[in-house]
Structure 1
Amino acid sequence: MTGAPVRQRVPGLVDLSATARALLDAVRAAGGRPYLVGGSVRDALLHPGRRPKDVDVEVFGLALDPLVESLSAVGQVDEVGRAFAVLKLRRGGEDFDVSLPRTEVKSGPGHTGFTVVADPATPPRVAAGRRDFTLNALMYDPVAEEVLDFSGGLADLRAGVLRHTTAAFAEDPLRVLRGAQFAARFGFRFAPETAALCRSLAPAYRELPTERVWGEWRKIGEKGVHVGAALAALDDAGWLGHFPQLARLAGVPQDPRWHPEGDVLTHSGLAADAAARLADAAGMTGDDRTVVVLGALVHDVGKASHTQVRADGRITSYGHAGAGVSPAEEFLSGIGAPPGLIARITPIVREHMVATGVEGRPRAAVVRRLARRLAPATIGEWSLVCGGDHAGRGAGSGPNPTIGWAEVAEEVGVAERPGKLLLRGTDLMALGHSPGPQYAPVMTAALDAQDDGAFTDHAGAVEWLAMAAADGRLDAWLAQGPTDRALPGGAPTG
Structure 2
Amino acid sequence: MDDDVRHPAPGLLQVGSGVTAVLDAVRSAGGRPFLVGGCVRDALLTPGSRPADVDVEVFGLDLDRVAAALARVGRVDEVGRSFAVLKVRRDGEDIDVSVPRGDPATPLREAARRRDYTVNALVFDPATEEVVDVVGGLADLRAGVLRHTGPAFAEDPLRVLRGVQFAARFGFRLAPETAQLGRDLLPAHADLATERVWGEWRKLAEKGRYLSAALAVLVDSGWLATVPQLARLSGVRQDPRWHPEGDALTHSGLAGDAAAVLADEAGLTGDDRTVVVLGALLHDLGKARYTQHRSDGRITSHGHAEGGVAPVEELLTSIGAPAALVSRITPIVREHMTAITTGGRPSAAAVRRLARRLEPASITEWSLVCGADHAGRGTGSGPNPAASWLEVAASSGVDERAGRLLLRGSDLVALGHAPGRHFAPVMRAALAAQDDGEFVNHAGAVDWLARVEADGRLARLLAEGRQRAADRG
Query: Secondary structure in 1 aligned to 2:3?
Result: coil
TM-score by length of 1: 0.93
> Could you tell me how far 1:275 is from its partner in structure 2?
0.6
Q: Deviations over 1:297-341 (max 9, x none)?
A: 110000000001111110000000000000011110111101110
Q: What CA distance in whole angstroms lies between the structure 2 residues aligned with 1:80 and 1:135? A: 24
Query: Secondary structure in 1 aligned to 2:204?
Result: helix
Residue in 2 that maps onto 1:230? 214
> Pairwise mapping of residues 426-441 of structure 1 onto structure 2 (< 5 A)?
426-441=410-425
- The one of 136, 150, 161 aligned to 2:134: 150
Residue in 1 that maps onto 2:74? 75
Q: What CA distance in whole angstroms lies between the structure 1 residues aligned with 2:176 and 2:42? A: 24
Aligned residues: 469
> Could you tell me how far 1:8 is from its partner in structure 2?
0.7
Quick check: 339-348 or 358-367, which moved more? Answer: 358-367
Q: Deviations over 1:151-171 (max 9, x none)?
A: 110000000001111111111
**What's the RMSD between the two structures over aligned residues?**
1.5
> Could you tell me how far 1:233 is from its partner in structure 2?
0.6
Counterpart of 1:200, as a letter, is D
> Could you tell me how far 1:92 is from its partner in structure 2?
3.1
Q: Deviations over 1:198-234 (max 9, x none)?
A: 1111111111111111110000110011011111111
Q: Is it true that 1:249 corresponds to 2:233 in the alignment?
A: yes
Residue in 1 that maps onto 2:365? 381
> Pairwise mapping of residues 359-398 of structure 1 onto structure 2 (< 5 A)?
359-398=343-382
Residue in 2 that maps onto 1:169? 153
5+ residue gaps, structure 1: 103-116, 486-494
Contact residue 3 and residue 125 of structure 1 kept, 8 A: no
Q: Deviations over 1:41-95 (max 9, x none)?
A: 0000000111111100000011222211111111100023234211010123311
Q: Is it true that 1:476 corresponds to 2:463 in the alignment?
A: no
Residue in 2 that maps onto 1:317? 301
- The one of 175, 183, 195 aligned to 1:191: 175
Residue in 2 that maps onto 1:55? 54
> Could you tell me how far 1:475 is from its partner in structure 2?
0.6
Label 1:65 to 1:405 Cα distance change in 2 as closer, same or farther (>3 A): same
> Could you tell me how far 1:358 is from its partner in structure 2?
4.2
Contact residue 271 and residue 390 of structure 1 kept, 8 A: yes
Q: What CA distance in whole angstroms lies between the structure 2 residues aligned with 1:83 and 1:358? A: 57
Q: What CA distance in whole angstroms lies between the structure 2 residues aligned with 1:60 and 1:13? A: 21
Counterpart of 2:60, as a letter, is G
Q: What CA distance in whole angstroms lies between the structure 1 residues aligned with 2:468 and 2:49? A: 55
Residue in 1 that maps onto 2:91? 92
Contact residue 348 and residue 398 of structure 2 kept, 8 A: no
Query: Secondary structure in 2 aligned to 1:265?
Result: helix
Contact residue 422 and residue 468 of structure 2 kept, 8 A: no
Quick check: 60-69 or 333-342, which moved more? Answer: 60-69
TM-score by length of 2: 0.97
> Pairwise mapping of residues 6-405 of structure 1 onto structure 2 (< 5 A)?
6-102=5-101, 117=102, 119-405=103-389
Q: What CA distance in whole angstroms lies between the structure 2 residues aligned with 1:451 and 1:64? A: 63
Query: Secondary structure in 2 aligned to 1:78?
Result: strand
> Could you tell me how far 1:360 is from its partner in structure 2?
4.4
Query: Secondary structure in 2 aligned to 1:201?
Result: helix
Contact residue 76 and residue 91 of structure 1 kept, 8 A: yes
Q: What CA distance in whole angstroms lies between the structure 1 residues aligned with 2:379 and 2:14? A: 41
Moved over 4 A (4+): 357-360, 482-485
Contact residue 286 and residue 309 of structure 2 kept, 8 A: yes
Query: Secondary structure in 2 aligned to 1:79?
Result: strand
Q: What CA distance in whole angstroms lies between the structure 2 residues aligned with 1:244 and 1:300? A: 14
Q: What CA distance in whole angstroms lies between the structure 2 residues aligned with 1:252 and 1:472? A: 54
Counterpart of 1:59, as a letter, is V
Q: What CA distance in whole angstroms lies between the structure 2 residues aligned with 1:430 and 1:144? A: 81
Contact residue 17 and residue 91 of structure 2 kept, 8 A: no
Percent of aligned pairs sharing the same letter: 70
Counterpart of 1:37, as a letter, is V
Counterpart of 1:276, as a letter, is A
Query: Secondary structure in 2 aligned to 1:80?
Result: strand
Q: What CA distance in whole angstroms lies between the structure 1 residues aligned with 2:105 and 2:335? A: 59
Query: Secondary structure in 2 aligned to 1:67?
Result: helix
Contact residue 441 and residue 482 of structure 1 kept, 8 A: no
> Could you tell me how far 1:431 is from its partner in structure 2?
1.4
Residue in 2 that maps onto 1:492? none
Q: What CA distance in whole angstroms lies between the structure 2 residues aligned with 1:345 and 1:484? A: 33
Residue in 2 that maps onto 1:464? 448
More helix per residue: 2
Q: What CA distance in whole angstroms lies between the structure 2 residues aligned with 1:304 and 1:181? A: 24
> Could you tell me how far 1:127 is from its partner in structure 2?
0.3
5+ residue gaps, structure 2: none
Label 1:338 to 1:30 Cα distance change in 2 as closer, same or farther (>3 A): same
Query: Secondary structure in 2 aligned to 1:293?
Result: helix
Contact residue 58 and residue 98 of structure 1 kept, 8 A: yes
Query: Secondary structure in 2 aligned to 1:8?
Result: strand
Counterpart of 1:400, as a letter, is N
Q: What CA distance in whole angstroms lies between the structure 1 residues aligned with 2:265 and 2:223? A: 31
